[in-house]
Amino acid sequence: MRLVAEEKRQKTIELLYSTPVTPAQIVWGKYLAALAILVCTLAFTLVYPALVQLVAKDPNGVEWRSIFLGYAGLFLLGAAYMALGLFISSLTESQMIAALTTFVVLLMTWIIGWSAAEDGGRHREVVSYLSSVSHLDSFSKGTVELKDLAYFLSICALGLFASHRAVEAHRWS
């Protein structure tokens, strides 16, 4: 949550504004750096399936397709959550407020699917589609559905667009 909020608090964002980089480049640079950390974190956990494969001593011991698609789903979920976190971070100067607000927003996208189980009809479909957990199901089963891919990519695009607008608005304030 320090991506932009800490820059604003320490007044170092003015240094970024005085360089020949655009607000879009600032947003993309911070977002890609956060994605690099996410990729490194996920890559470290690939040790566990590799160890299971070694211990199994069976060429078919681990279903790698399901594992890699599960990791792809986790990456897309993390990328979407980072885009929303970057947007919320660009709205405030306090990293604590950004962290708490992001936590609440992401928690709501996580648990909104619970209310879908109690409702019925069209409302259930809409609420279920808004839930981020429901879009991980196909990845965990080893398949990719276009609606799940579109969901994560649209959240990433929306978060990055809103972050760009917030950084550009702060530049002129």
CB atoms closer than 10 angstroms to residue 39: 14
Q: Which residue has the higher pLDDT, 63 or 165?
A: 165
pLDDT tens sequence across 155-172: 999 999 999 999 898 877
pLDDT tens sequence across 114-166: 776 666 677 777 777 888 888 888 888 888 899 999 999 999 999 999 999 99
pLDDT at 28 > cutoff 80: yes
pLDDT at 1 > cutoff 80: no
Percent of the chain with pLDDT over 90: 44
| Residue-level pLDDT at 119 | 67
E strands, 43-156, where? none
| Residue-level pLDDT at 172 | 77
Q: What are phi and psi of 60, to 5 degrees?
A: -105, 25
| Residue-level pLDDT at 135 | 87
pTM of structure: 0.88
Distance CA 139, CA 81 (A): 17
48-57: Cβ within 8 A, 24+ apart: none
Q: Which residue has the higher pLDDT, 49 or 157?
A: 157
Copy the structure tokens of residue 165. 């607008």
Buried-state track 131-160, b at ≥16 Cβ within 10 A, e below 16: bbebbbebbeeeeeeeebbebbeebbeebb
Domain spans of the chain?
Answer: 2-171
Residues, the chain: 173
pLDDT at 110 > cutoff 90: no
